[in-house]
Chain A
């Protein structure tokens, strides 16, 4: 498993723990009331579970197991950026709900998430390909020819 996948997956686990903890507190409070302030955690719980956990875990696994260009995963710079954008976006959007921050901050979080998703798709698109092809759909022989 490549280092970048491990980073995605471990951050997904981190978000899962927090998302589950907030969700468990909310559910506990539904059964045995603790404090109504807990309802403020709902947007953060949703953001962490849907984007911070599920989406991020899938992106990490996708980077690991999608078909490679022979042995290489190509230029992974967009995926490195996507990691930071996703996690800043998740916590920005989630915390803006908890602390009732201005809508612009919530929007910024969602734009970060969008940028992250777009970068990941831009990168991963070329790895959804038939076997035995490299970047831009070139066959192994074509690559050698173009290099000579």
Chain B
């Protein structure tokens, strides 16, 4: 299994655990005296599961298993694959902190951080589709 696949998959496992912890904390609010800002983590919980875990797991497995692009470049354009890894994780991490902070504080800084996280994740998706599309072929 190539190093980038291992990175994608192990990072996705970390997000899975963090997402499940947040999911438990969201429910625990009803029985434990937890801070009210936790309620703002609901969209973060869902997106950590769907983007941080499931989508990232698919990116990693696709890098590994899709048909070779060519004999010289079996995975396609590696620089673009690495870019998709860093862009995706920068975007997800930034969102994880910026979205609840944006809800709790006034001021433009956290708002711009949320917007930046959107752009980063979008670019990660474009980079992934660019490479994966080239490898969606007969053999």
Which residue numbers of A lie inside 8 Å of B, CB to CB? Answer: 1-3, 6, 9-10, 13, 16-17, 20-21, 23-28, 30-32, 49-50, 54, 57
Query: B102 contacts A31, CB within 8 Å?
Result: yes
List residues of chain B with CB under 8 Å of any chain A CB.
50, 54-55, 58, 66-67, 95, 98-99, 102, 108, 110-119, 121-122, 125-126, 129, 132-133, 136-139
Nearest-Cβ distance from residue B113 to partner chain A, whole angstroms: 7
**A50 / chain B contacts, CB cutoff of 8 Å:** 50
* Chain B interface main SS type: helix
Given contacts A27-B118, A28-B119, A31-B98, 7 further A-B contacts (CB under 8 A): A1-B67, A9-B136, A20-B121, A26-B118, A31-B102, A32-B108, A50-B50
Question: B112 contacts which chain A residues (CB < 8 A)?
Answer: 31-32
Contact A24 B50 (CB under 8 A): no
Most chain A CB within a 10 A radius of its CB, from B66, B114, B118: B118
Provided the pairs A16-B125, A31-B98, A32-B112 are in contact, do residues A6 and B137 lie with their beta carbons within 8 angstroms? yes
Min CB–CB distance A19 → chain B (angstroms): 9
Those 7 A-B pairs whose CB atoms lie nearest each other, nearest first: A31-B114, A27-B118, A24-B122, A31-B115, A20-B125, A31-B111, A24-B118
Give the shortest distance, in Å, between A46 (CB) and chain B (any CB): 10
Q: List A contacts of B122 (CB < 8 A).
A: 20-21, 23-24
Q: B residues within 8 A CB of A30?
A: 99, 102, 111, 114
- The 5 sampled A-B contact pairs (Cβ below 8 Å) are A13-B136, A23-B118, A24-B118, A28-B114, A54-B54
Grouping DSSP codes into helix (H, G, I), strand (E, B) and loop, the A interface class, with mixed when no group exceeds half, is helix
Residues of B within 8 A of A17 (CB): 125-126, 129
- Least CB distance, B42 to chain A, in whole angstroms: 13
Contact across chains for B136 and A10 when beta carbons are under 8 A apart: yes
Q: How far is the CB of B87 from chain A (nearest CB, A)?
A: 12
With A13-B133, A32-B115, A57-B58 as contacts: A27 and B95 at CB distance below 8 Å: yes
- Residues of chain A with a CB closer than 8 A to B139's CB: 1
Return chain B residues, CB-CB under 8 Å to A21: 122
**CA of A26 to CA of B138, assembled, Å:** 36
Residues B111 and A32 in contact, CB atoms below 8 Å apart: yes
**Closest B residue to A2 using CB positions:** B138
- Given A1-B137, A9-B136, A57-B58: A31 touches B113 (CB 8 Å cut-off): yes
A26 and B117 CA atoms in complex are apart in Å by 11
- Provide the bound-state CA to CA distance between A24 and B110, in Å: 16
The distance from the CB of A21 to the nearest CB of chain B, in whole angstroms, is 7
CB distance from A129 to the nearest CB of B (A): 21
CB distance from A99 to the nearest CB of B (A): 24
